[in-house]
Amino acid sequence: MSTLAAPSPSASPTSGPPYDCNPLTISLSRLTPLTISSSSNSLSHLVNRLQNEGYYGGVRLLMAICKVFHNYCNDNKINLHEGNFTLSYDTNIPRQTGLSGSSAIVCAALNCLLDFYKVRHLVKVEVRPNLVLSAEKELGIVAGLQDRVAQVYGGLVYMDFSKKYMDELGHGIYTPMDTSLLPPLHLIYAENPSDSGKVHSTVRQRWLDSDEFIISSMEEVANVALEGRTALLEKDYAKLAGLMNHNFDLRRLMFGEDVLGALNIKMVELARQVGAASKFTGSGGAVVAFCPDGPSQVKLLEDACEKAGFAIQPIKVAPPCLSDIDIKTLSSN
């Protein structure tokens, strides 16, 4: 299967104490023992954080990637030097909007570990999305590789998840693309989401059961990504708009409206009402929209979003985030 993705806004590791919204740091000595301490003196602030993020929030994500990273290095005979470190995090990704906020924190932490232990050249770029996904699976988070690939590579990435590659390599073939090929895109999301589709999806089980409709639909989704890559390379943005709409239509047929959620569907249809193309950014919670008619259409979309109570902002795609060491590693594979 193939997919085309640009990254969501990223979580960033911080060199000093974390921002107030996440007043926890993790200190580890050779990954153990582990202590948690509060960097905020405000009890009410801490209570507010617990109400919004639970008792662990992003801290459990940091703990999970530390475990996964340690085990991977141990299994692959990668020696880690002794020494203490502190991990802290802050994120600007809106919660519960399908923008992969959890994996962004994990990916940022993994980069910190790679640099602290100076093993970036020993952990292949292609396997890092698998490590991020494994950390989330440790916590029972159901996800796939697409967003993790986008966050590891940065920029714009074409992904081929053909069974052949997954079986032989354990990962897909990931091809960075020039971000200047992208037309102007906008992100639409609900600032206070209340309906993200609460009905359990049966699509995964149907796939495992070899449901012909699900398999054929997934193959069509993969083909949409392949066609999307060609449309971008040829700068055929009218074709791209049609493919975006087709992608969502396929998802709607496979999952059903109860699973997708009324609020998510409303965001897509709102964009379509002004002639914009739109699709989910991931599994739901936010929508990426493209206005092929330019600024005047963007203004119509902004007005429609304001009236409906949705947030909208232009998407700024960051350049690829691979280091020189990473690029050398890629070129040697």
pLDDT value for 149:
94
- Location of structure tokens 């153990």: 32
As a whole number of angstroms, the distance between CA 276 and CA 28 comes to: 49
Residues in the chain predicted with pLDDT less than 70, given as ranges, are 1-57, 192-200, 331-333
Angle CA 279–280–283, to nearest 5: 150
pLDDT value for 282:
80
Backbone angles phi, psi at 81, to 5 degrees: -70, 160
pLDDT value for 16:
37
pLDDT value for 195:
46
Strands (E), the chain: 2-5, 12-13, 24-29, 34-38, 84-90, 156-160, 173-177, 185-189, 277-280, 286-290, 311-314
Q: Which CATH number is 24-154's, of 3.40.50.12160, 3.30.230.10, 3.40.50.720, 1.10.8.80? A: 3.30.230.10
Q: What is the torsional sign of CA 123, 126, 129, 130?
A: negative
As a whole number of angstroms, the distance between CA 274 and CA 233 comes to: 26
Q: For the domain covering 183-314, report its CATH number.
A: 3.30.70.890
As a whole number of angstroms, the distance between CA 270 and CA 281 comes to: 15
Number of H helices, E strands in the chain: 13, 11
- Rounded alpha-carbon distances, angstroms, from residue 92 to 10, 42, 77, 100, 232: 7, 21, 36, 12, 28
Domain spans of the chain, in order of start = 24-154, 183-314
- SS3 for 287? strand
Catalytic residues: 147
Over the stretch 149-193, which tens digit does the pLDDT of each residue have? 999 999 999 999 988 999 899 999 999 999 999 999 999 998 766
pLDDT value for 51:
60
pLDDT value for 38:
45
pLDDT value for 318:
81
